[in-house]
Structure 1
Amino acid sequence: MRLHVEEAGVLGRGAWLIAGAVVVACMMLVGPSTPAGAPFARTVPVDAAKDVVPNRVMTWNMCNPCDESNVERAAEIAAYAPQVVGLQEACVRDVERIRDHLANLHGLDYHVEYGPVLRNWSRCGGAPWRPGGYGQAVLSAAPMTDVVTAEYPDGGSEDRGYIAVTTEVAGQTVRVFNTHLAQRRQEEVRERQTAVLAPQVAPYERAVVLGDFNAVPDSPEMSPMWALAEDMDAGCRPPAAGACEPTTDWQSKYDYVFLRGLSALGHEVRPSRFSDHHLLHADVAAR
């Protein structure tokens, strides 16, 4: 709406009040430009991340059930802006919101693939007769193809599985796996799970295996992974497992970024206020 003023003194105080009321009314009709009710498709703050780091991969067990905000989870991911991130203990609805917050609040656009292994109302909400999907998810700045989701034949005390995708990392085509193994004190179950996962990784010249393995590096069930790949920290592997940096609040290394046919140029383990697992990321290059 445009107001034409011919003379500075023509409009009196009352007219200016009317004009102001019209502007306020228009703003109320349009609505606020916020992510919750924005009429605009995208609202990016001035300090938004410009782009993802093209050679960075990350893994994060988000903690579930935990009463955390998806806005805060998105901010944790955006702080490192990985090319690819694997999330564990992920509810489909939460990841959908995280992806939206990454786009609307941080200017980061991701493709998403989901690998739910069960539907669980207590963890993911939803209608009692149709609870939300729970499991793994992969976010990638580049498109993903050849998506495979699999549930381990034996999940232990809770269904577990993996998701695999083909995408681009550091300008290379890479097969990315994201997994979550059986809970602590279920070593024999995890041994059967890595026996399923490792042969799926082996055919690929370049692969990244992300996830929460619920096992310290020198556990017997981790042997198939060490035979195939290196951790993002080249100094972390048996028998020198004592040098591995903890990835959990209870000072154990349970989370891994395994690299096959790729080398880590740098890596970081960062504690999070929003999970009992730390965020791990590595910048990689093809060998």
Structure 2
Amino acid sequence: MTGAHGVRPAPGPDQPPVPVRLVTFNTHHGVGDDARHDLPRLATLLASADADVICLQEVDRHFGDRSEDVDQALLLSRALDMQLAWGPAIDEPRPGARPPRQYGNALLSRLPILVSDVHRLPGSGEPRSALRTMLELDGSTLWVTATHLTTRSPEERAEQVTALAALHTEDMAAGVLVGDFNARPDAPELDPLRQRFTDAWELAEDRDDQAGWRFWQRDEGHTHPARAPHRRIDQAWVSSGIAVATARVLDADGASDHLPLVVDLLIPSGV
């Protein structure tokens, strides 16, 4: 069965659910807390998660000197031997035959990608987008939407969240919405999301994070900033019927200013 990682599907009279391991991670364009662009370090970290689906924010494609002008999305997909879906938020042409300067969201998948589309989100300042994909599972499908919301204001985030929630319609069955929301899960502007999705961290049967000796923050799921996390802004939200076996915040090994969130999902079969 696709995506088995030691997660035991719940028994039932019908087909058992399909386990899928998903990672969401703001990569800070591959630049770690040592101010060094190190794509092999990032690829090694992602490989260690052994995920079926990896959703990345702040990914560069020929963006410039800060990331050595490389195509990070393509190089990571090749290094991990995973399919790639790409959702630019910034897309600027360059003179001559040079590829465009792009920055945005990437999805890497071991599962077949059946549908992939990009949706611009409302707001001013830095452009924001959502990458929506449909993945093929054994006996079912899974919609995954990855995004990175604005830092400008709660009002603009509320507009973006409303647009995001509308991307998952009733006939789409199982769906997950992940990314860097730049807001706490209980923030008022995320209310349209809470009406239709459930916070995977709260739903998880088993949770673990990087709080360490800070016992008063244990199992809080904080992901930012990486060196002393105290904000849970990197999140995964699941539609009705999806169970969450585990949710973990991993050590980023200095690869970014965020920490990766890993969730083990159980997707209903036959939907």
Shift of 1:233: 1.6
Question: Quick check: 1:116 aligned with 2:83?
Answer: no
Q: Is the 8 Å Cα contact of residues 170 and 285 (structure 1) preserved in structure 2?
A: no
| Residue in structure 2 matched with residue 257 of structure 1 by the alignment | 236
Q: Is the 8 Å Cα contact of residues 56 and 169 (structure 1) preserved in structure 2?
A: no
Question: Quick check: 1:148 aligned with 2:126?
Answer: no
Q: Which has the higher contact order (CA 8 A, sep 6+)?
A: 2
Question: Quick check: 1:194 aligned with 2:172?
Answer: no
Q: Which moved more, 1:136-145 or 1:170-179?
A: 170-179
Change (3 A) 1:132 1:258: same
After the TM superposition, which residues 89-168 of structure 1 pair with which residues of structure 2 at under 5 Å, given as runs?
A: 89-92=58-61, 93-102=71-80, 109-119=81-91, 131-154=100-123, 156-168=124-136
Partner secondary structure for residue 82 of structure 1: coil
Question: Quick check: 1:225 aligned with 2:193?
Answer: yes
Q: Is the 8 Å Cα contact of residues 178 and 235 (structure 2) preserved in structure 1?
A: yes
Hey, what's the Cα distance between the residues in 2 that align with 1:213 and 1:274?
Answer: 20
| Residue in structure 1 matched with residue 66 of structure 2 by the alignment | none
Query: Normalised by the size of structure 1, how large is the TM-score?
Result: 0.70
Same amino acid, percent of matched pairs: 26
Hey, what's the Cα distance between the residues in 2 that align with 1:126 and 1:181?
Answer: 30
Change (3 A) 1:235 1:285: closer
Shift of 1:234: 2.1
Please list the CA deviations of residues 44-76 of structure 1 after superposition, one character each: whole Å capped at 9, or x if unmatched: xxxxxxx98462011000013733211111111
Shift of 1:116: 0.5
| Residue in structure 2 matched with residue 276 of structure 1 by the alignment | 257
Shift of 1:146: 2.1
Partner secondary structure for residue 37 of structure 2: coil
Extract unaligned runs of 5+ from structure 2.
6-18, 62-70, 205-217
Shift of 1:232: 1.9
Q: Is the 8 Å Cα contact of residues 120 and 134 (structure 1) preserved in structure 2?
A: no
Hey, what's the Cα distance between the residues in 2 that align with 1:127 and 1:218?
Answer: 47
Counterpart residue identity of residue 230, structure 1: T
Counterpart residue identity of residue 74, structure 2: E
Shift of 1:259: 1.2
Q: Is the 8 Å Cα contact of residues 59 and 85 (structure 1) preserved in structure 2?
A: yes
Shift of 1:119: 3.1
Question: Quick check: 1:71 aligned with 2:40?
Answer: yes
Q: Which runs of 4+ in 1 moved over 6 A?
A: 125-129
Q: How many residues align?
A: 221
Extract unaligned runs of 5+ from structure 1.
1-50, 103-108, 237-241
Hey, what's the Cα distance between the residues in 1 that align with 2:148 and 2:54?
Answer: 14
Shift of 1:114: 0.3
Between structures 1 and 2, the one with greater helix share: 1
Q: Is the 8 Å Cα contact of residues 232 and 282 (structure 1) preserved in structure 2?
A: yes
Q: Is the 8 Å Cα contact of residues 114 and 136 (structure 2) preserved in structure 1?
A: no
Q: Which has the larger radius of gyration?
A: 1
Shift of 1:101: 1.9
Partner secondary structure for residue 201 of structure 1: coil
Change (3 A) 1:52 1:76: farther
Q: Is the 8 Å Cα contact of residues 52 and 141 (structure 1) preserved in structure 2?
A: no
Shift of 1:168: 3.1
Counterpart residue identity of residue 255, structure 2: F
